Chains A and B, each alone.
Chain A
Amino acid sequence: MTAGPIAPGRGAARRRALVERTALLGPGLLYLLAFMAIPIALILVYTIFTRGRFGGVVFTPTLDNFTRALDPIYTAVLGSSLAIAGITTTIALLLGYPTAYAIAMLPKRWRTVALILVVLPFWTNFLIRTYAWIVLLNSEGVVNQALVGAGLIDRPLELLYTRGAVVAGLVYAYLPLMILPVYASIERLDPQLREAAANLGAGRARTFFDVTLPLTLPGVITGALFVFVPSLGNFIVPELLGGGKTVMVGNVIRDQFLKARDWPFGAVLALAVIVFLVVLFVLQSWASRRVSTGGRDA
């Protein structure tokens, strides 16, 4: 017996596995290259050039775009966008976790029904759903009429065109993106782990914080990211429900590209958001690896 005949066979198998993997990844990679890598590369390039008069860029290198982005006007917008996205994410988590938990505890056939109900809003156009909030929140809107009618308030409240309205709209838009990953992680959790905790003397709250929550944290982190990322970049909700008073970084970027026609500066702001999100994703993958495997204690 020599190792001779094994080695080439093994090499061939490995090559075949590589080919297979590439074949499977191929279409996805192509798509990413065309619609992610190239646009991002373009944005990167734009950032260091001068704006053209009617949009586009003039290829004269400059760093002005970056210094301008540090202007308090823009850092404030970025800061308030982060705050709004953060608050949105927090509220979505506080609403979404109990919902996901309740769904996971339903009898099996009702779970599917509940999940369909959760994603049902996605079947209607996002704009239309956001307009509906205007109908709900404006001074003659359903909410105000109900409150006045119930005698709880004398005059209609200023609900629309506030930060609160923007947050409400964002939470409403992205709540399913919180519920689904959290549900998946709760559903996957071995129910015997909760029983084991109870058996060892832990009450319900204790069991939740010691067992359920830590083990569903990857789902929570994923859900938080799913809500935070699109909230941060959203410009429809702040425009419709914020009424131009609450400007988020998404609005500024859009305006730079479409109204001010300052592509390089828009690119810098977009880059700032991208960098921020990349950092978040790195943190997320690190955190969920630590949580789920118990992090092999390296």
Chain B
Amino acid sequence: MTTSPTAPAGATGTLAHPLVRIEGVSRRFGDVVALDEVSLEIAENEFFALLGPSGCGKTTLLRVLAGFEQPDSGRVLLGEDDLLGSPPNRRPVNLMFQSYALFPHMSVERNIAYGLEREGRPKAEIRHRVDEVLVTVGLSGLAKRRPSQLSGGQCQRVALARAIVKRPRLLLLDEPLSALDRKVRAEMQLELKRLQHEVGITFVVVTHDQEEAMSMADRIAVMADGRVQQIAAPIDLYQRPVNFFVADFIGTSNVFTGVAAEGGLRVGDRVLPGRAVNGPVTGPARLVVRPEDTTLVEESQSLVSGRVLETQFYGGVSTVAIVVEGLSEPLLHTRPGVPEAHRDAIVHLAWDPDKAVLLEGTS
């Protein structure tokens, strides 16, 4: 049975038939507001990613869902049931801990089997499923080892295996792949997507890796200081950020500061073209232009000009850093293939006004 996620790309995160509904959840630790009126909905069988800087409350949100943190206020529903009323061991939710929390006195296979044993599954089935998941995470040879005899990346895969082997309705993964090398990580990413599509598990995944979130998630919530900044599909998040924080946090951006004006941003006596994506913008504002949306042009079409600081060639793409008078940071311009400018050359940049986002805010 393969159902595709029914998540619309809304900025609000409200769905017709959500699996999880988080409504106005707040959690304070003394002076620290870890979660501030967080509301979001997660669709059945969705791959939902949480992105945000360190300390913004991602782990706390997962712990609320798993039942280890009782929110100060707000509601959490799973389907029609009030999740906050049921104890952690009764929730159809599995959490992979950021610090793994493997049982040090149990072997790898006993760690993985533990959750299945608690369900009272037959021994043969447990054996089979543990062996299967060990193959999946590539640790078949290490079944008898203890966690203290494993590397960090191996521990992480055991933790992942222990969480996915139960095939819960809702799987919460706290930075599940952060300790893995590129190749294994790519394999695990495919595996998680397979679980989503073939087993129909709903995922909530915390990650620091934007590319990972962008490539895997159906929708992403960007958080900062305990608040949800934006919930959107990856492309929307990238192209239509609702505020400067999101624009700056996601991907690389060139930022101009000035005052909102007709058709763009007034900087000094010029107007740099751009458009507002979330309603009209007035007063102090910023213009965000992605490096790949810029082009090198003739002087006659120039929007900004500057001197090339350096060029970098990454194989598939190349980046040119350009020092522009009046900007504290060099502008970045990327294009497929080899760089078309060289050091110290004077170059002119332009962009499609539709692709430059005008955002409200002071500098």
Bound Cα distance from A199 to B89, whole angstroms: 5
A198 CB-CB contact with B under 8 Å = yes
Closest to B98 in A: A192
Bound Cα distance from A293 to B103, whole angstroms: 11
Number of interface residues of A (CB under 8 A): 23
Is the Cβ of A198 less than 8 Å from the Cβ of B166?
no
Find chain B residues with CB under 8 A from A215 CB: 104-105
Chain B proximity of A188: nearest CB distance (Å): 12
Find chain B residues with CB under 8 A from A214 CB: 105
Which B66-119 residues have C-beta < 8 A from chain A? 66-68, 87-89, 93-95, 97, 99, 101-107, 114-115, 118-119
A202 CB-CB contact with B under 8 Å = yes
Which one of B21-29, B141-149, B247-255 contacts A?
B141-149
- SS class, residues of chain B in contact with chain A: loop
Bound Cα distance from A192 to B145, whole angstroms: 21
Bound Cα distance from A215 to B102, whole angstroms: 12
Bound Cα distance from A290 to B149, whole angstroms: 14
Chain B proximity of A10: nearest CB distance (Å): 27
B162 CB-CB contact with A under 8 Å = yes
Is the Cβ of B87 less than 8 Å from the Cβ of A198?
yes
Find chain B residues with CB under 8 A from A206 CB: 118
Pick from A197, A203, A207, A294: contact of B104, CB under 8 Å: A294
Is the Cβ of A192 less than 8 Å from the Cβ of B97?
yes
Please indicate which of the listed interface residues A199, A201, A294, A297 has the most CB atoms of chain B within 10 Å of its own CB.
A199
The answer to whether residues A198 and B88 also contact, given A192-B99, A294-B146 and a CB cut-off of 8 A, is yes
Task: Convert A189-223 into 0s and 1s, putting 1 for each residue whose CB lies closer than 8 angstroms to a CB of B.
Answer: 01011011111111100110011001100000000
Find chain A residues with CB under 8 A from B115 CB: 200-201
Is the Cβ of A193 less than 8 Å from the Cβ of B118?
no
Chain A proximity of B59: nearest CB distance (Å): 11
Is the Cβ of A195 less than 8 Å from the Cβ of B148?
no
Chain A proximity of B66: nearest CB distance (Å): 6
Pick from A211, A291, A296: contact of B103, CB under 8 Å: A211
Find chain B residues with CB under 8 A from A198 CB: 67-68, 87-89
Find chain A residues with CB under 8 A from B95 CB: 199
Chain B proximity of A288: nearest CB distance (Å): 12
Find chain B residues with CB under 8 A from A297 CB: 144-146
The answer to whether residues A195 and B68 also contact, given A214-B105, A294-B146 and a CB cut-off of 8 A, is yes
Is the Cβ of A200 less than 8 Å from the Cβ of B101?
no
Is the Cβ of A294 less than 8 Å from the Cβ of B105?
yes
Is the Cβ of A200 less than 8 Å from the Cβ of B68?
no
Task: Convert A283-298 into 0s and 1s, putting 1 for each residue whose CB lies closer than 8 angstroms to a CB of B.
Answer: 0000000010110110
Chain B proximity of A197: nearest CB distance (Å): 7
Closest to B102 in A: A196
Number of interface residues of B (CB under 8 A): 30
Bound Cα distance from A97 to B248, whole angstroms: 53
Is the Cβ of A190 less than 8 Å from the Cβ of B101?
yes
Find chain B residues with CB under 8 A from A200 CB: 89, 94, 114-115, 118, 162, 166
Find chain B residues with CB under 8 A from A211 CB: 103
The answer to whether residues A203 and B89 also contact, given A293-B148, A294-B105, A294-B148 and a CB cut-off of 8 A, is yes
Which A253-287 residues have C-beta < 8 A from chain B? none
Closest to A206 in B: B118
Find chain A residues with CB under 8 A from B105 CB: 214-215, 291, 294
Bound Cα distance from A200 to B96, whole angstroms: 10
Find chain A residues with CB under 8 A from B88 CB: 195, 198-199
Is the Cβ of B101 less than 8 Å from the Cβ of A192?
yes
Bound Cα distance from A249 to B101, whole angstroms: 47
Chain A proximity of B159: nearest CB distance (Å): 9
Find chain A residues with CB under 8 A from B114 CB: 197, 200, 202, 210
Which B281-336 residues have C-beta < 8 A from chain A? none
Chain B proximity of A245: nearest CB distance (Å): 45
Bound Cα distance from A245 to B237, whole angstroms: 84
The answer to whether residues A296 and B149 also contact, given A192-B99, A196-B101, A215-B105 and a CB cut-off of 8 A, is yes
Chain A proximity of B141: nearest CB distance (Å): 14
Bound Cα distance from A197 to B67, whole angstroms: 12
Bound Cα distance from A296 to B147, whole angstroms: 10
Find chain A residues with CB under 8 A from B101 CB: 190, 192-193, 195-196
Chain B proximity of A194: nearest CB distance (Å): 9
Chain B proximity of A295: nearest CB distance (Å): 8
Closest to B94 in A: A199
Find chain B residues with CB under 8 A from A291 CB: 105
Bound Cα distance from A279 to B115, whole angstroms: 39
Chain A proximity of B96: nearest CB distance (Å): 9
Is the Cβ of B146 less than 8 Å from the Cβ of A296?
yes
Chain A proximity of B85: nearest CB distance (Å): 15
Bound Cα distance from A210 to B115, whole angstroms: 12
Is the Cβ of B118 less than 8 Å from the Cβ of A202?
yes
Q: Which residues of A contact B (CB under 8 A)?
A: 190, 192-193, 195-203, 206-207, 210-211, 214-215, 291, 293-294, 296-297
CB pairs A–B below 8 angstroms (6 shown): A190-B101, A196-B103, A197-B103, A200-B94, A206-B118, A294-B106
- Of all A-B residue pairs in the complex, the 6 with the closest CB atoms, nearest first, are A201-B118, A200-B115, A294-B146, A192-B101, A196-B101, A198-B88
17 more A-B residue pairs beyond the given contacts A195-B97, A197-B103, A199-B88, with a C-beta to C-beta distance below 8 A: A195-B101, A196-B101, A198-B88, A198-B89, A199-B67, A199-B68, A199-B89, A200-B94, A202-B89, A202-B118, A206-B118, A210-B103, A294-B104, A294-B105, A294-B107, A296-B146, A296-B149
